[in-house]
Amino acid sequence: MIGPEISETIEERFQILEGKVLYQDRTIDDLNKVVIRQQDQIDRLTSELRQIRDHVTGEGEGIDAGKEPPPPHY
């Protein structure tokens, strides 16, 4: 049988470990939310960059210069 002093020490250590696990779980959840938000930003920026690249290279739905009249200074 375990003495009362040892039992209290084990209980204290268990509570400390339980607190650390809860803190780590909370931290992991917070970090996961940050990673998800950053991935959404990366996806959005990648899409915008692709649209800009297509517009600059003329592969996208850019302005068709043939449909617009020339500027007045021509």
pLDDT tens digits for range 51-70:
999 999 887 655 555 677 77
- Cα–Cα distance, 45 to 39 (Å, whole number): 10
pTM of the model: 0.60
Question: Do 50 and 56 contact (CB within 8 A), yes or no?
Answer: no
Closest by CA to 20, choosing from 10, 31, 9, 28, is 28
Q: Please, what sign has the CA dihedral across residues 16, 18, 23, 28?
A: positive
Confidence band, pLDDT 50/70/90 cuts, at residue 74: low
The residues, any chain, with a CB within 8 Å of residue 26's CB and separated by 6 or more, are none
* pLDDT of 1 over the 80 cut: no
